[in-house]
Amino acid sequence: MLTFYFSPGSSSMAPHIALHETGAPFEAKPLSLAKKDTRTPEFLAINPNGKVPVLLVDGRVLTEVAGILFYLARAFPSAGLLPTGDIEAEAQVVSWMSYIASTIHPARRQGLEHAREVYAVADKRLGKNDWAAGGRYSIADIHLFRLYWRFRSSLEPEPEAFPNIEAHYARMMARPAVQRTIEIETKVGYELPA
- Given a cut of 90, whether residue 194 has pLDDT beyond it is no
Q: Are 107 and 147 in contact (CB under 8 A)?
A: no
Which CATH number characterizes residue 128's domain? 1.20.1050.10
Chain segment 122-142, per-residue pLDDT in tens: 999 999 999 999 689 999 999
37 lies in the same domain as 108: no
133 lies in the same domain as 183: no
91 lies in the same domain as 168: yes
Give the range of the structural domain holding residue 160, as residue numbers without chain letter: 87-175
Mean pLDDT of 56-63: 97
73 lies in the same domain as 92: no
What pLDDT band is residue 157 in, cutting at 50, 70 and 90?
confident
Query: SS3 letters for the chain?
Result: CEEEEECCCCCCHHHHHHHHHHCCCCEEEECCCCCCHHHCHHHHHHCCCCCCCEEEECCEEEECHHHHHHHHHHHCHHHCCCCCCCHHHHHHHHHHHHHHHHHHHHHHHHCHHHHHHHHHHHHHHHCCCCCCECCECCHHHHHHHHHHHHHHHHHCCCCCCCHHHHHHHHHHHCCHHHHHHHHHHHHHCCCCCC
What pLDDT band is residue 154 in, cutting at 50, 70 and 90?
confident
Our count of domains for the chain comes to 2
65 lies in the same domain as 125: no
111 lies in the same domain as 169: yes
95 lies in the same domain as 156: yes
Query: First-to-last CA distance in the chain?
Result: 35
Mean pLDDT of 159-183: 95
113 lies in the same domain as 181: no
171 lies in the same domain as 92: yes
In a domain, 194, yes or no: no
pLDDT at 193: 54
Residue type, 24: A
Q: Provide the β-strand partners of residue 61.
A: 56
Mean pLDDT of 167-182: 97
In a domain, 152, yes or no: yes
92 lies in the same domain as 171: yes
92 lies in the same domain as 170: yes
